[in-house]
Amino acid sequence: MLDIRFIRENAEAVQANARNKACDVDITTLLKLDTDCRVLQGQVDELRQKRNDNVEKSKGGRPTPELIAEGKVIKDQLAEIEPKLKEVSAEFLGLLKKVPNMAWPDVPVGHSEEENVVVKTVGDVPKFDFIPLNHAAIAAKRDWLDKERASKVAGSRFAYVKGDMVRLQFAIINFVMDLLGDETKIAEIAKNNKLDVSTKPFVPVLPPYMIRTEVYDAMDRLEPRDERYKLENDDLWLQGSAEHTLGSMYVNEVLDESQLPIRYLGYATSFRREAGTYGKDMEGLFRMHQFDKLEIESFTTAENGLNEHLLFAAIQDYMLTQLELPHQIVQKCTFDIGKPNARGVDMNTYLPGQGKYRETHTADYMTDYQSRRMNTRVRRKSGALELVHTNDATAFALGRIMIAILENNQTADGQVKVPTALQNYLGGRTIL
């Protein structure tokens, strides 16, 4: 959520930003409601002041019948205005919540995904002297993937992942935990990208997979609800990313500046209904209702937020490079970054089975947009209270990254070469 005071002072820019993000909000209406609220609030406050004065007069002893009669009049007047205020406030807040975060000044304005900007292409697209298979075909040959039986048990877009592919997943997890738990590695990544950031390592976390409606909404991740799984008998949803439960950890808390940055590496199975994607990416593991993901999340001061975001993207680039996967770094345009984002970067990894780069990572910088509703603040050394800035990013979506490894590292005889960085995590094996 944006600060209403900021909107009051920058109404035109906020409206333009919403247009650039293809968000349908009317700032004029919002500001009208804002004024209405304040007028009503003023009336209510005035009546409450009268009520308090009235009570004050009978302090210590019993109130006179006159005072009680006066009090009753005030009470009736309040009963008339307070519900109006409540109604208008609810309408106001509903509209305020719809206003998207301001895009960072360097985000390209665009009106479709096509206008995202490829910043850098890393690694060469592999050349095969045979026709490369897609990961579903490779996995089928090795009995690593069983979607048919999964569909009997759970429906479409579920799978049994088996054998060496499971070992590969755990190898990747351990690789990332070691890497992001190593301060010297983070320092190296920061230095190579000329980023002046903390080198604090990431703490691994297994978060809850379920989240309350109220908290999900405050994270601005509940919508679109069509995309979420709701638990019928409880006020709970299955999370769609560890971001949702990591970013909300400190709801209604005040952190101390000395604690920052707080950096987490969350591992969670994530759930998405994939509503409206019927028939899209049906083969293999690319788009599933359930997938495992390593996610990084951090809380920083405002002035460190942007560099943290750039570090997150640099970490993604570094890890893909370590796994020897050809990829593109894409700066997303205003249309594509998303409502709560100030800035967004994607990593698109080359998939020989599809012959194109596909999204495997995303890095989101939220500034204080999430923390404002989350009410997560930091006590600065000066004593001032400020909202924290949040960043989140994919470390690896395990399904998609294994697709990339299988397809890029396949051999003519249906084997898969293990990237050097992962060999130690697979008992020294060089081939699967």
Token digits of residue 156: 């479409």
**Which position among 38, 167, 185, 339 is part of the footprint of RNA (CB under 7 A)?**
38
- The distance from CA 149 to its chain's CA centroid, rounded to whole angstroms, is 32
Whole-number Å distance between alpha carbons of 156 and 152 = 8
Query: Nearer to RNA by C-beta: 45 or 178?
Result: 45
Beta strands in 249-384 (DSSP E): 254-256, 262-271, 290-300, 327-331, 343-351, 356-365, 377-379
CB 306 within 8 A of CB 343: yes
74 binds RNA (CB under 7 A): yes
CA distances (Å), origin 308, targets 99, 113, 194, 196, 338: 24, 24, 12, 9, 18
Sorted by sequence, the CB contacts under 8 Å of residue 285 that are 6+ apart come out as: 135, 136, 139, 145, 159, 161, 291, 399, 400, 402, 403
Token digits of residue 121: 């292409």
Query: Nearer to RNA by C-beta: 195 or 236?
Result: 236
Contacting range for RNA; rule: CB under 7 A; set: 70-78, 201-209, 298-306, 357-365: 70-78
Shortest spacing between CB 72 and RNA, in angstroms? 4
Shortest spacing between CB 266 and RNA, in angstroms? 19
Number of residues that bind RNA (CB under 7 A): 29
Site for RNA in 286-315 (CB under 7 A): none
Contacting range for RNA; rule: CB under 7 A; set: 42-50, 295-303, 334-342, 356-364: 42-50
Whole-number Å distance between alpha carbons of 63 and 13 = 55
Query: Nearer to RNA by C-beta: 42 or 224?
Result: 42
Whole-number Å distance between alpha carbons of 234 and 225 = 16
Amino acid occupying residue 50: K
178 binds RNA (CB under 7 A): no
Kind of pairing, strands 145-146 and 254-256? unpaired
**Which position among 28, 32, 68, 412 is part of the footprint of RNA (CB under 7 A)?**
68
Residues across the chain: 432
**Backbone dihedral region of 282: left (phi > 0), alpha (psi from -120 to 50 degrees) or beta?**
alpha
**Which position among 16, 22, 23, 41 is part of the footprint of RNA (CB under 7 A)?**
41
Shortest spacing between CB 66 and RNA, in angstroms? 11
Contacting range for RNA; rule: CB under 7 A; set: 21-29, 35-43, 124-132, 404-412: 35-43
Whole-number Å distance between alpha carbons of 219 and 216 = 5
388 binds RNA (CB under 7 A): no
Site for RNA in 137-166 (CB under 7 A): none
42 binds RNA (CB under 7 A): yes
Whole-number Å distance between alpha carbons of 82 and 398 = 52
Query: Residue 374: beta bridge partners?
Result: none
Q: What is the DSSP letter of 249?
A: T
**Which position among 6, 9, 26, 46 is part of the footprint of RNA (CB under 7 A)?**
46
**Which position among 51, 225, 273, 380 is part of the footprint of RNA (CB under 7 A)?**
51
Token digits of residue 306: 């942007």
Contacting range for RNA; rule: CB under 7 A; set: 62-70, 142-150, 183-191, 422-430: 62-70
71 binds RNA (CB under 7 A): yes
120 binds RNA (CB under 7 A): no
Query: Nearer to RNA by C-beta: 71 or 126?
Result: 71
**Which position among 9, 13, 75, 259 is part of the footprint of RNA (CB under 7 A)?**
75
Query: Nearer to RNA by C-beta: 77 or 423?
Result: 77
- Per-residue binder mask for RNA (CB under 7 A), 244-283, x = binder: ----------x-----------------------------
Site for RNA, rule CB under 7 A: 4-5, 38, 41-42, 44-46, 48-49, 51-55, 58-60, 62-63, 67-68, 71-72, 74-75, 86, 254, 385
